[in-house]
Amino acid sequence: MLELRLVQGSLLKKVLEAIRELVTDANFDCSGTGFSLQAMDSSHVALVALLLRAEGFEHYRCDRNLSMGMNLNNMAKMLRCAGNDDIITIKADDGSDTVTFMFESPKQDKIADFEMKLMDIDSEHLGIPDSEYQAIVRMPSAEFMRICKDLSSIGDTVIISVTKEGVKFSTSGEIGSANIVCRQNQTVDKPEEATVIEMQEPVSLTFALRYMNSFTKASSLSDQVTISLSSELPVVVEYKIAEMGYIRFYLAPKIEE
């Protein structure tokens, strides 16, 4: 038996909108720790890891570990039927091939049940070790989204370089090239607008903008995004989900031929 009641149901709606472009089908894993997902895109270039901790739910019952395969477009279709202020409850019986999403209006005057068929998904689970990163950039998520969008009208790839001067996003294409530099900027009264750069050593990596743009669909979940870079590792683009967990996107770099 599984029963997870999320008062801020809009979080789940936003999570789905953030990942459904990248991943079509995925297993949601439910355990005593929380509700989680790990999935790669079809070309195995990017990986998304989601965690919604058990403590973040108003009610969290998960009698045994359960993995539920869902088509994310179908799940998004159902969650779009929930109001932004609705409480969402996810329910499943052991051994069942369906999951039920229950939507309750804040005044409790409307209750809806949407039952969705589960699917068998043979997915690979990767072990991601904790790493020390050469540079960690924290910046407003809306700013990062704007930069990725602007650069993708010029080129296909972005070079992200961190030096003590700041973080530079560069691209080039047929029509020309572009460089955007963001310097450290810690505004005490508006922490959500801060740009903070922690650099152990300078780092410069190249990534496909198509994926970066897809990651920025998570911007509505968090005012800030954290970008962790090391020369030998995929970049980690993390959006914290208010007191509940996170959504992390891992993207393998491009290298010179």
Partner 1 sequence: SGVQLSITEFYRSK
Q: Which residues bind partner 1 (CB under 8 A)?
A: 40, 43-47, 124-129, 156-157, 206, 208, 233-234, 250-257
Supply the minimum distance, in Å, between the C-beta of residue 34 and partner 1.
Answer: 18
- In whole angstroms, the minimum distance from the beta carbon of 252 to partner 1 comes to 4
Nearer to partner 1, 174 or 243 (CB): 174
Toward partner 1, which CB reaches closer, 160 or 251? 251
The string of DSSP letters for 148-214 reads: HHHHHTT-SEEEEEEETTEEEEEEEETTEEEEEEE--B--SS-GGG-BEEEESS-EEEEEEHHHHHH
Taking a C-beta distance cutoff of 8 angstroms, is the pair 120, 128 a contact? no
Our CB check for partner 1 shows the closer of 197 and 203 to be: 203
Pairing relationship of beta strands 98-104 and 245-251 according to DSSP bridges: unpaired
Shortest Å distance, C-beta 158 to partner 1? 11
Residue 156 C-beta: closest distance to partner 1, Å:
7
**What crossing angle do the helices spanning 72-79 and 10-19 adopt, rounded to 10°?**
150
Give the position of tokens 């959500």: 192
- Nearer Cβ to partner 1 (18/233): 233
